Amino acid sequence: MQDFLALADHSPQEIQSLLDLAVQLKKDHAAGGNKPILQGKALAMVFQKSSLRTRVSFEMGMQHLGGHALYIGPQEIGLGQRESIADVARVLDGYVDGIMARVFDHQHVLELAHWAAKPVINGLSDYNHPCQGLSDALTIYEHYKGDIKGLKVVYVGDGNNVAVSLMHVCAKLGMHFTIANPEGYDMLPPAIELGREFAAESGANIELLNDPAQAVQDADVIYTDTWTSMGQEEESKKREAVFPPYQVNAALLAKAKPTAVVLHCLPAHRGQEITDEVADGPQSLLFPQAHNRLHAQKALLATLLG
Ligand code: CP
Ligand code: NVA
């Protein structure tokens, strides 16, 4: 594994190995600490957007493994503006052992990976959020005790970056994936095509719907995310008018299996895509899910930088 830019680039076996390693690293951490397998290694974290989870979990992940992480905020290097992406990549190559980047345009993280000799990890782009998808798979895997083939995962809301990574990881690992999104807010057709390809290989189904009530029938996992992603702020008024029927609330949750669990990548806009009642209710896994970013990404760091 050279880079981690999209789950679509990795085989089910590679993803499963990352999950197994994440489970082990999580156990070791709970039992007193991880081995310093990244001693002397450094990760540059390039952010063009805000972050809580991605920034802190990567920084703490490097620390737990004996390495160091360097935060480079949106105002600092002006990726592609103050300096070309190709030059940034080749400069960082001489200083650090890996680069994590959160960008607007997915092409920018691809370009970074093209020019950097060191591993590049996508910490979210407009196209997908593979670190989130990997951590979500870990959360589902733990909750269902490894028995995940054939589970029904339902995403309700915008067909955004998080939806694409979730669809791809589900399809790779044999979980059925259903999305209910408003018309005009579909996932990108090439992403859907890839999802169908992976699903055909694993025996999963991909179902594209507009009706949330129909979608959540028999769901084992219900997932939602913000209606307005970072970079789409000027559309937020329009979206707030379209998306209310896609709120994950107690009435919608009641239509799923009684054992269903609820996920959200966070940050949540409580009262919009999810109610407090559901986010803080007994079926919510929101905080264990957020915490699993740390463990899943440690597996990634150990694999790519170790
Ligand atoms: N879920 C997620 O990526 O959160 P941050 O934007 O806070 O990193
Ligand atoms: N879809 C959201 C996810 C944030 C973690 C965004 O891109 O802003």
User: Which position among 129, 176, 239, 295 bears the catalytic label?
Assistant: 129
Is residue 262 within 8 Å of residue 286, measured between CB atoms?
yes
136 catalytic per annotation: no
User: Which position among 55, 264, 293, 295 bears the catalytic label?
Assistant: 293
Rg of the chain over Cα atoms, rounded to whole angstroms, equals 19
**What percent of the chain is predicted at pLDDT more than 90?**
99
Nearest CA to ligand 1 atom 2: 53
293 catalytic per annotation: yes
pLDDT digits (tens, 9 = 90+) for 19-63: 999 999 999 999 999 999 999 999 999 999 999 999 999 999 999
54 within ligand 2 shell (Cβ under 6 A): no
pTM of the entire structure? 0.98
Pocket residues: Cβ below 6 A from ligand 1 = 51-54, 124, 132, 265-267
Q: How confident is the model at residue 250 (pLDDT cuts 50, 70, 90)?
A: very high
pLDDT digits (tens, 9 = 90+) for 147-167: 999 999 999 999 999 999 999
170 catalytic per annotation: no
CA–CA gap between residue 46 and residue 60 (Å, rounded): 16
User: Which position among 225, 239, 295, 297 bears the catalytic label?
Assistant: 225
Q: Which amino acid is at 227?
A: W
Q: How confident is the model at residue 287 (pLDDT cuts 50, 70, 90)?
A: very high
pLDDT digits (tens, 9 = 90+) for 212-247: 999 999 999 999 999 999 999 999 999 999 999 999
Predicted pLDDT of residue 213: 98
Q: What is the mean pLDDT of the chain?
A: 98
Predicted pLDDT of residue 197: 98
Q: What is the crossing angle of helices 189-202 and 161-173, to 10°?
A: 20
Pocket mutation for ligand 2, best pick of 185, 265, 269 (most atoms within 8 Å of C-beta): 265
The number of the ligand nearest the C-alpha atom of 133 reads 1
CA–CA gap between residue 187 and residue 161 (Å, rounded): 8
29 catalytic per annotation: no
Q: How many CB atoms lie within 10 A of CB 250?
A: 11
Domains of the chain: 7-129+293-305 (3.40.50.1370), 132-289 (3.40.50.1370)
280 catalytic per annotation: no
Averaged pLDDT, 94-113: 98
